[in-house]
Amino acid sequence: MSNLVTIYGGSGFVGRYIARRMAKAGWRVRVAVRRPNEALFVRPYGVVGQVEPVLCNIRDDASVREVLKGADVVVNCVGILAESGKNRFEAVQAEGATRVARMAAAEGVARMVQISAIGADTEAESDYARTKGMGEEGVLKHMPDAHILRPSIMFGSEDEFFNRFAGMTRMGPVLPIAGGETRFQPVYVDDVAAAAEKCITGKAAPGIYELGGPDVETMRALMARMLGVINRRRLVINMPNFVARMMAFGFDMLQAVTLGLFSNTLLTRDQLINLQVDNVVAEGARGLEDLGIKPTTMESVLPEYLWRFRPSGQFDAIKKSARNLRES
């Protein structure tokens, strides 16, 4: 019988790529999610019955324990960018990760892979980064030989970074950003999945790996790159800190007073704190190269999914060519 991996959050952005890779490698894959009916798209990653979405809430002991029974390896991809309802940073990213590791150790699971983030630090000012650090600490307490993967911002067809800002360009001639001079090292999501596969299959030494792509660019430069891909001209304005703080506070308060009816997916105060800190691989840290993975460039991937934000979508290049013919 083939090996079994349980992936918590396996239908999410990075989780689905890991699930696809492990199915292709012949593993049975258990995708643990809160809404299995919304994760049925993972089933075709393998043959009938090979990839199965199952119900699990990472905040609940019983469901976490149930879905890891019989697993050879567990992967925790669960994380949130903003708090909503009972999904608080500490409950999900700190206590949730620790719960998975504690249960995995009790069940005798051989290996664990924790998807964390660059900047994870128990002393960080940001709640997001602090609880990511707490999660790492809890994982290593119960599974000392765990693999911790810390990616920078990830890009790919389902990302919430380039897709989000590209969508904003449809709203007007100005593109407001915060943290314009903060540096990032975007990493392709499938490279992160490839790193996880190396860890799952035991082809990588335990420990912490910081994953970044081949390019380090500021937020402003990333927006310029994105605008070049979608063939739009927009004025990129880096909002002053006091303006960004007022906006983030207002959005957070609106979510609070509406009891979550308005979900702040625009800019939170915690995200603003994160945007003041460079998000790049630390000097001397182990990374993709140490795993034998060549980082994928942004220019080789972004046009594959951002074309839909061009003025004429997939026909933009054809229209430009026809216009040139008329003018010649």
What are the tens digits of pLDDT across the range 242-257?
Answer: 999 999 999 999 999 9
Q: Is pLDDT of 1 > 90?
A: no
Per-residue pLDDT, 42 = 98
Per-residue pLDDT, 319 = 61
Cα 122 to the chain's mean position, in Å?
Answer: 20
Q: Band of the pLDDT at 238, cuts 50, 70, 90?
A: very high
Residue 50, class by beta-carbon neighbours within 10 Å (0-12 exposed, 13-18 middle, 19+ buried)?
middle
In a domain, 54, yes or no: yes
Q: Band of the pLDDT at 309, cuts 50, 70, 90?
A: very high
Say if CB 210 and CB 287 are below 8 A apart. yes
What are the tens digits of pLDDT across the range 123-170?
Answer: 999 999 999 999 999 999 999 999 999 999 999 999 999 999 999 999
Mean pLDDT over each residue of the chain, to the nearest integer: 95
Q: Determine the Cα–Cα distance for residues 186 and 151; give it in Å rounded to an integer.
A: 8
Helix (H) or strand (E) holding 276: none
In a domain, 234, yes or no: no
Q: Which domain holds residue 190?
A: 4-156+186-213+279-295
DSSP 8-state code for residue 35: -
Q: Is 321 strand, coil or helix?
A: helix
Q: Is 22 strand, coil or helix?
A: helix
Q: What percent of the chain has pLDDT over 90?
A: 91
In a domain, 319, yes or no: no
Q: Where are the beta strands (DSSP E) in the chain?
A: 4-8, 28-33, 51-55, 73-76, 111-115, 147-151, 154-155, 174-177, 183-184, 187-188, 207-211, 217-218, 235-238
Per-residue pLDDT, 223 = 98
Q: Is pLDDT of 268 > 80?
A: yes
Per-residue pLDDT, 316 = 63
Per-residue pLDDT, 140 = 98
Lowest mean pLDDT among 22-26, 40-44, 264-268: 264-268
Q: Determine the Cα–Cα distance for residues 325 and 302; give it in Å rounded to an integer.
A: 27
Q: Is 159 strand, coil or helix?
A: coil
CATH number of the domain that residue 106 is part of: 3.40.50.720
In a domain, 243, yes or no: no
Per-residue pLDDT, 312 = 77
Q: Is pLDDT of 322 > 80?
A: no
Backbone conformation region of residue 24, classed left if phi is above 0, alpha if psi is from -120 to 50, else beta: alpha
Per-residue pLDDT, 318 = 61
In a domain, 60, yes or no: yes
What are the tens digits of pLDDT across the range 106-121?
Answer: 999 999 999 999 999 9
In a domain, 136, yes or no: yes
Domain count, the chain: 1
Per-residue pLDDT, 326 = 60
Per-residue pLDDT, 126 = 97
pTM: 0.94
In a domain, 219, yes or no: no
In a domain, 15, yes or no: yes
Per-residue pLDDT, 84 = 87
Q: Is pLDDT of 324 > 70?
A: no
Cα 176 to the chain's mean position, in Å?
Answer: 23
